Amino acid sequence: MNDALLRTEQLSRSYGSLLAVDRVDLSVREGELRSIIGPNGAGKTTLFRLISGEVAPTAGRIWFRGREVTGLPQHVVSRLGIAKSYQITNVFPHLTVRENVRVAAQGHTRSFDFWSRADRLVAVLDRARALLSTVGLERKADLLAAHLSHGEKRHLELAITLAADPVLLLLDEPTGGMSPEETDATMLLIRGLAAGRTIVLVEHKMKLVMKISDRITVLHQGQVIAEGTPEEIRANVRVQQTYLGAWR
Ligand SMILES: Nc1ncnc2c1ncn2[C@@H]1O[C@H](COP(=O)(O)OP(=O)(O)OP(=O)(O)O)[C@@H](O)[C@H]1O
Ligand SMILES: [Mg+2]
């Protein structure tokens, strides 16, 4: 497919004799919300690390916006518009919520766009405020990040990831460890984010995945074993066998 925003061809990564990602062909359209599901150890996080340039593939190729990005370092891939949030929370606990986002926004504001330092500072603060509002944390702006609940920390992390204004957002288990209420709030948030960008989501919570995804790719032992709409995936016998009643 030539109109894909992201495309991988036979993408593979081995660790010794283990094939963590095994000849994955993936094609994600612009504006799509794609979920990647699969049992523990299926290769989901490794696939993200390959796409984001954190880890080099042992075989295969990756294209983003028609440009080959295989083997490019992470900071270059990030500048091209791919941002990844981590499975594990990654915020500065001893900074306030606002400071965490401000530092991130500052890193993505180009100084030559502004006449003065003061103008730049105002722009960065405006951007930080907008990001906090996007993730629903404006009222917590002055708290130390350490004092946020787990769910709020994950939302802060999302705001930090969004500071780069990515074209493609890779979310690795954004609701991991969250209460049902926090999970619902995060689902709404992801839906909102999906309106303006392309998202690839790794998630174990099937109800959420079924509700939110345009298409779903199923990984098992590093390989794609199914791909389709939520309805198609739900009805897929091979997927049902792989999950053995894990559908809740
Ligand atoms: N740096 C590494 N060195 C050795 N093996 C690794 C490394 N990273 C991942 N693996 C192995 O590759 C396989 C895929 O791991 P990965 O973390 O991608 O799975 P996952 O689908 O994200 O699982 P989970 O749902 O538990 O997060 C696993 O068997 C894992 O142990
Ligand atoms: Mg993982």
How far is the centre of ligand 2, averaged over its atoms, from the C-alpha of 201 (Å)?
11
| CA distance between the termini of the chain | 33
For ligand 1, say whether the CB of 57 is within 6 Å of any of its atoms. Answer: no
Question: Cα(248) to centroid of ligand 2, in Å?
Answer: 19
Q: State pTM to two decimals.
A: 0.92
**Cα diameter, the chain:** 61
- Ligand 1 centroid to residue 45 C-alpha, Å: 7
- Ligand 1 pocket check for 6: Cβ under 6 Å: no
Q: State yes or no: pLDDT of 248 exceeds 50.
A: no
Are residues 178 and 60 part of one domain?
yes
Q: Are residue 62 and residue 30 in the same domain, yes or no?
A: yes
Contact present, 52 and 84 (Cβ < 8 Å): yes
Tens-place pLDDT, residues 137-187 = 999 999 999 999 999 999 999 999 999 899 999 999 999 999 999 999 999
In a domain, 86, yes or no: no
| Same domain assignment for residues 207 and 239 | yes
Q: Which is higher by pLDDT, 156 or 117?
A: 156
Range of the domain at 125: 91-165
Q: How many domains are there within the chain?
A: 2
Q: Is the dihedral of CA 88, 93, 98, 99 positive or negative?
A: negative
Query: Are 121 and 219 members of one domain?
Result: no
Q: What pLDDT does 167 receive?
A: 96
